Amino acid sequence: MIGFFIFMPNSQIISMAVNPEDIALLQEFRAPATKEKAFTAIIKKYQEKLYWHIRRMVVEHEDANDVLQNMFIKVWNGLENFREDSQLYTWLYRIATNESLTFLEQQKKRSAVSIDNEESNLSNQLMADKHFDANRLEWKLQLAIQQLPEKQRIVFNLRYYDEMPYEEMSRVLETSEGALKASYHHAVKKIEDFILNH
């Protein structure tokens, strides 16, 4: 990793590390002869992580695949203009998060459920899984996560499953680190309460 600093307008300094492999892939992507090969390499490198990030948000496998496909179409169309002022994976996670939120918003409109019912709708999808067993801890955890408000659910998933540092998460979600830490703390407390009481 090559380290460097970005000077922010409010004079805050953010340390970043640029992945040399990603820099090489971006250079290949910008060359017409190697564009498709580089894009395929980017997909192979990040597809699984992004799939699970999306799947934890939208729950259904088919929906996650659709969102992932739409996300990579956006990446293909926008990668030429990627400014490299953040890590590539941060930019990809931001697109994946936004595409997932757009999908969930469209689902809400289509099914005409209120925001309050959306969490129970995701829980119902989870319980419909043929492998679902409410007595197993991992299923209880999943149910607890689906009860969280959307923002807390995203923050919890990024921190708990992807082990994303708050600094990186701040760039993905465009929210302050303090707000993210508070969201994560509230999410953990709600999950603990849910698991203990269900």
Q: Select from 112, 127, 156 the last residue of a domain.
A: 112
- Summarize pLDDT for 165-178 with one digit per residue, the tens: 999 999 899 899 99
Same domain, 12 and 84: yes
CA distances from 114 to 107, 133, 173 (A): 11, 27, 24
Query: Residues of the chain with pLDDT > 70: what percent?
Result: 77
pLDDT above 80 for 14:
no
60: containing domain: 1-112
Assess contact for 142 and 128: CB atoms under 8 A: no
Same domain, 68 and 149: no
Tell me the CATH number at 78.
1.10.1740.10
Same domain, 61 and 124: no
> Which of helix, strand or coil describes residue 13?
strand
Average pLDDT across the chain, whole number: 81
Same domain, 32 and 44: yes
Q: What is the pLDDT of residue 134?
A: 55
Same domain, 143 and 169: yes
Compute the average pLDDT of residues 16-30: 83
pLDDT band for position 136 (50/70/90)? low
Same domain, 19 and 59: yes
Between 156 and 86, the more confident residue is: 156
pLDDT above 70 for 35:
yes
Q: Select from 61, 83, 112 the last residue of a domain.
A: 112
Q: What is the pLDDT of residue 34?
A: 95
Same domain, 87 and 5: yes
Number of structural domains (the chain) is 2
* Rounded CA Rg of the chain: 18
Same domain, 53 and 134: no
Go through 14-47 and write b for each residue having 16 or more CB atoms within 10 A of its CB, e for each that does not: eebebeeebeebbebbeeeeeeeebbebbbebbe
Tell me the CATH number at 190.
1.10.10.10
pLDDT above 50 for 141:
yes
pLDDT above 70 for 8:
no
pTM over 0.85: no
Same domain, 49 and 4: yes
Compute the average pLDDT of residues 38-61: 93
Same domain, 69 and 143: no
Q: What is the pLDDT of residue 6?
A: 32
Q: What is the pLDDT of residue 176?
A: 95
Q: Select from 58, 80, 112 the last residue of a domain.
A: 112
Same domain, 92 and 16: yes
Same domain, 36 and 77: yes
pLDDT above 80 for 17:
no
